[in-house]
């Protein structure tokens, strides 16, 4: 066996509940001496949460999954190539880059629908939720979406 990844949250809490790192520690203990590495995943939306999971679970590694959506900088933070999270302008530039890459790969029509799933992750990092975020979700085309993102670049930053 190459390794075991464990996402220590029940299906009942989906992606909202707190991970139970004790379950991971228990698995690590049971596999002690087998040479099978244990990888913890779940709830790792920031570099600090990933570091906490690593320490608390005693796993051999962490696996960043949904935590990287809208947050590709997490890998640089974890490897020490970046001191902290990105600023507003960097987030918006990355969102526009993601839209451009989707369009290049899928074509404008398919990319417009496909990119919608990424908008909430980026907007949440900017503190934009609810109806303001929904407006981007309802766009019909990438030009319309780009227009809304451009408007965000002109808005003053929200207080954190």
Residue with token string 């417009």 = 112
How far apart CA 47 and CA 43 sit, in angstroms, is 11
Q: What angle do CA 144, 148, 152 make, to 5 degrees?
A: 165
Predicted TM-score (pTM) of the model is 0.81
Backbone angles phi, psi at 22, to 5 degrees: -60, -35
User: What is the residue-level pLDDT of the chain in tens, covering all 160 positions?
Assistant: 689 999 998 777 767 778 899 999 999 999 999 999 999 998 898 999 999 999 999 999 999 998 899 999 999 999 999 998 899 999 999 999 999 999 999 999 999 999 999 999 999 999 998 888 899 999 999 999 999 999 887 765 544 4
């Amino acid at each position: 066996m190459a390794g075991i990844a464990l996402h220590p949250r029940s299906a009942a809490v989906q992606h909202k509940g707190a991970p139970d790192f004790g379950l991971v520690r228990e698995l690590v203990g049971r596999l002690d001496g087998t040479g099978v590495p244990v990888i913890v995943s779940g709830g790792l939306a920031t570099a600090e949460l990933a570091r906490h999971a690593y320490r608390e679970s005693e796993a051999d590694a962490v696996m960043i999954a949904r935590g990287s959506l809208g947050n590709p900088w997490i890998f640089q933070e974890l490897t020490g190539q970046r001191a902290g999270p990105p600023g507003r302008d960097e987030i918006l530039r990355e969102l526009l880059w993601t839209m451009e890459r989707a369009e290049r790969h899928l074509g404008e029509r398919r990319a417009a629908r496909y990119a919608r799933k990424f908008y909430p992750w980026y907007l949440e990092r900017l503190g934009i939720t609810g109806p303001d975020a929904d407006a981007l979700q309802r766009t019909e085309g990438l030009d319309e979406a780009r227009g809304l993102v451009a408007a965000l670049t002109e808005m003053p930053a929200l207080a954190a």
